[in-house]
Structure formats: C-alpha cells, structure tokens
Amino acid sequence: MFAGKKILVGVTGGIAAYKVAEVISRLRKLHAEVHVAMTKSATEFIAPLTLQSLSANPVHVELFDEPKLWNVEHIALAKHIDVVVVAPATANILTKMAIGLADDFLSTVLLATRAPIFVAPAMNHAMYHHPATQANLALLKDRGIQAIGPDTGFQACGTEGDGRMSEPVEIVESLARFFAGVEWLKGKRALVTAGGTQEPLDPVRYLGNRSSGRMGYAIAQVLQEAGAETILVSAPTDLPTPFGVTKLSVQTALEMYDAVLARFHEVDVVVMAAAVADYRPAVQAEQKIKKNGSNRTLELVPNPDILAQLGRMKTSQILIGFAAETENLLANAQLKMQRKNVNLIVANDVTKPGAGFGSPTNIVSFLFPDGRRIDLPQMNKLEVGRHLVRELAGLFGMDIKE
Ligand code: PMT
C-alpha cells in the first residue's frame, strides 16, 4: 500500500531522532518515496547523510540552499507529497505549527502543504503535560493533524512518564492505516470504564484502591484512534482526557453502575478496565468521624457487579472485562469470564513488577470463551490497548490480518 506514496519525514531536535532512521528504512522497504526535512537541531542528533542514504533522496535543512530538486523548493515539495509525518515532534515544532511560524525549511513546508500531517510527539513528560503543549496539541488536532502516541515509559532524561516517541513500527502502522483508509472501528460506539471507585465513609475519607486509570484511558485513546465514538466513564484520576473522547466523571461504584447502564443500549462494546469497589460502607457519616480511642468496626454492604449485570443484559454488545488477580491468574480469570458472560477477559497479575496498578506498562493475557488464549509480554498500556483493538475488530468479524 506504500508503493509510490510520497512521504515527507520531518525530523526535529530530540533524542528520539535516531529512531527515525528505522521509520525511513521501513518505509523504503515498503516501496514508499521518502523525502526528509530536518531542523538544524535535528542534525545535532543524527547526521543528514544517514537519512539521505536511507531515503535515497537529498535531505533538506536550510531554507535558502541551492535547489536540489525543484525551484522554490519548499513549495514544490509541499505540493508533491501525499503525507507528512513529523517524528520526533518536539514541543518547539508543535508550538510553531500551532501559531503558523515558518522560520526554517520544515516549518515552512508544514505551513505550505495541504497534505495530511501526522506528528509523533517526543519530549520529557513534564514538557508534554505542560498546559502550553497540551493546548497546542489540542489546537493541531482540531485542525485535523493526527498525533501518533506519545508512549509512556523510560525517558532519555532518566525519568518515566508520557512523552516517549512511539516505536517506528507503530508510526509506520499509523501511516499504513491512513493509506489503507482503515479505521477498524469506524461507525462503532464504545464505552470504557477507568480508575478506581471511591466509597465515602464521611465527608473527608473514602475506601479506594490503587488504580491510576492509565489502563482504561489508554484503551479509550486507542478505541477513539481506531475510529470508534468513545465514552469514558472515569472514577477520579489525574489523567488528561484523550482527545476526542467524551468523559463522564463518577466517584462511586453506584454512580459508575448508573452511568454505564444508562448508556449500555447506545454502544457496541464495553470495556470494563475500572477497579470497582466490591463493597461500600453501610453508612456514610454526614460529619467527619471523630476518634475516640477505641476500636471501630466498619460495616460494608456489597456493590452491584456492573459487568455481571451487563453480561445478563447484553444483546449484540461485545463485553470485555479485566481480571485483576494476585494468585491463580488464569483459573480465576476463566471463572470471571464465564460468570460475567464476557466475550474476552484481560487477565493481569497485579503483583508482577511492570504490571497492574499505577504502572505505565502491563503484562496481560487475553482469554476467550472458545478456549483461545493470547499471552502478551510486558508493554506499555497504549500497546496493550492496540492489541485489544485488533482482537475487538476480530470479534466484530473484521479481517484483522494486515
Ligand atoms: O488503572 P491502572 O493503574 O492503569 O491499573 C489497571 C488495572 C489493574 C486497574 C486494570 O488492568 C484492571 O485489572 N482492571 C480491573 C480491576 C478489577 O476490578 O478487577 P476484578 O477482577 O476485581 O473485576 C473483574 C471485572 O469486573 C473488571 O472488569 C471490573 O471492572 C468488573 N467489576 C468488578 C466489580 C464490580 N462491582 N463491578 C464490576 O463491573
């Protein structure tokens, strides 16, 4: 599907610039015509000669170089290409794109072209979460620019967090989907739950759990990217709402139950990634409970099992549940799959390092009612979500072989 496609790879100055060599190499192997424009800072991270050799085309850096291919080169290139992918896309280039600044070859082409643009943001997580970067990204997405990633994980600055450039294979896959026109879940409506419910004891305390919401938010993001109209029913988290996703905030299991059931008949798939409290305090004190020095006993009453209820109500909907286990992972997950009548259960052993609560990564197995099982290695939660989307497309009867 890449044969003859004219792709401009814009490279900006971040450590992830070295990974773009693989993007270019993969695109060339798939018979794309690849052009490269680098910012001056990018040339500090990777030599233009490397990218020239891999792309088999001259690399553009300076706006006023001798023309290499056409006259008024940046305009000619802007018209020539079918798609642009900026990888890595630094906070700086995102800002320039947002305000329309054209002060070097790449930013000028980005302003001049009418070809679709993809960006693969890559930066330190604090820079990524800065309101300025988030506002720029939101503005660019509003204009139709598509973001690939970023992923979460170890960063070159020594910290962990969001802001790692997506892997080259994912960047190429995104372009492949674009050229194939494949949005697997276009026309589908999805509902995802995320985070840990909070069950109030009094106005200042609650019973909660360790869920950060990352798993559910990642799934909502990839479902949306795959074309599904996505609702995220979220218990309290610190996470930004994925672009384009409709978020409904809840606190307790009962609120989540009401929010999910109210929308169940409107959706084609529900993914229950939330950690829902099985019990809540029998009484919620109206005032802060005072200490009195003696032991206290807390009476708990069961919460409804949302997923089991959906399992009883489902007609054509696909139900995906999670099983958070600390022992007998597969056997317990299997039982939950049957008891809750789901089409797929994602089993995670939440005691494993790099899996479960709070971690940017997870280690999961997908279990299906027909006995099929897929064991995935440790990977970041967006990648888990992408694997899940593929399986979901399969459950909808689509041919998911690429
Ligand atoms: O949020 P993160 O920090 O990223 O962590 C991710 C995660 C560990 C929370 C996630 O991967 C996960 O395992 N989510 C499910 C947690 C859970 O409650 O598992 P469970 O085995 O207790 O419940 C089984 C399924 O029933 C789940 O899909 C759950 O959402 C659902 N359930 C549970 C209880 C209840 N009252 N109603 C429900 O719908």
237 has pLDDT over 80:
yes
Active site residues: 157
Do residues 166 and 150 make contact, with C-beta atoms less than 8 angstroms apart?
yes
Mean pLDDT, residues 152-170: 86
**Domain locations along the chain:** 6-182, 189-395
191, burial (CB in 10 Å: exposed 0-12, middle 13-18, buried 19+): buried
Share of the chain above pLDDT 70, in %: 96
Q: Which parts of 269-317 are beta strand (E)?
A: 269-272, 279-281, 300-302
198 has pLDDT over 60:
yes
- N-to-C CA span, the chain: 11
Q: Which residues line ligand 1 (CB under 6 A)?
A: 211-215, 253, 272-276, 278, 303, 305-307, 321-324, 336, 348, 350, 356-358, 362
Ligand 1 centroid to 134 CA: how many Å?
A: 29
Give the H or E element holding residue 36: strand 33-38
**Ligand 1 atom with least separation from CA of 320:** 28
* Tens digits of residue pLDDT in 312-369: 999 999 999 999 999 999 999 999 999 999 999 999 999 999 999 999 899 999 999 9
Share of the chain above pLDDT 90, in %: 79
Asked whether this chain's domains 6-182 and 189-395 adopt the same fold, the reply is yes
- Give 6-182's CATH code, choosing from 3.40.50.1950, 3.30.1330.40, 2.60.40.2580, 3.40.50.2020: 3.40.50.1950
Mean pLDDT, residues 154-177: 87
Give the H or E element holding residue 174: helix 168-180
Spatial CA neighbour of 32 closest among 82, 66, 68, 87: 82
Best residue among 232, 250, 271, 272 to mutate for probing ligand 1's pocket (most ligand atoms within 8 Å of CB) is: 272
Distance CA(165)–CA(146), nearest Å, equals 14
8, burial (CB in 10 Å: exposed 0-12, middle 13-18, buried 19+): buried
Return the residue whose CA atom lies nearest to atom 18 of ligand 1. 275
303 has pLDDT over 70:
yes
- Give 189-395's CATH code, choosing from 3.40.50.1390, 3.40.50.10300, 3.40.50.970, 3.40.50.1400: 3.40.50.10300
CA 52 to chain centroid, in Å, comes to 31
So what's the pLDDT on residue 402?
Answer: 47
Which of the 8 DSSP states describes residue 66? P
What is the average pLDDT value for the chain, to the nearest integer? 93
Return the residue whose CA atom lies nearest to atom 16 of ligand 1. 275
* Tens digits of residue pLDDT in 72-129: 567 889 999 999 999 999 999 999 999 999 999 999 999 999 888 999 999 999 999 9
- Give this prediction's pTM: 0.69
Distance CA(5)–CA(343), nearest Å, equals 39
Distance CA(64)–CA(71), nearest Å, equals 11
Ligand 1 centroid to 348 CA: how many Å?
A: 10
Ligand 1 centroid to 289 CA: how many Å?
A: 29
3, burial (CB in 10 Å: exposed 0-12, middle 13-18, buried 19+): exposed
Distance CA(161)–CA(153), nearest Å, equals 5
Q: pLDDT-based confidence at 218, cuts 50/70/90?
A: very high
Best residue among 260, 280, 307 to mutate for probing ligand 1's pocket (most ligand atoms within 8 Å of CB) is: 307
Ligand 1 centroid to 374 CA: how many Å?
A: 19
Distance CA(51)–CA(61), nearest Å, equals 12
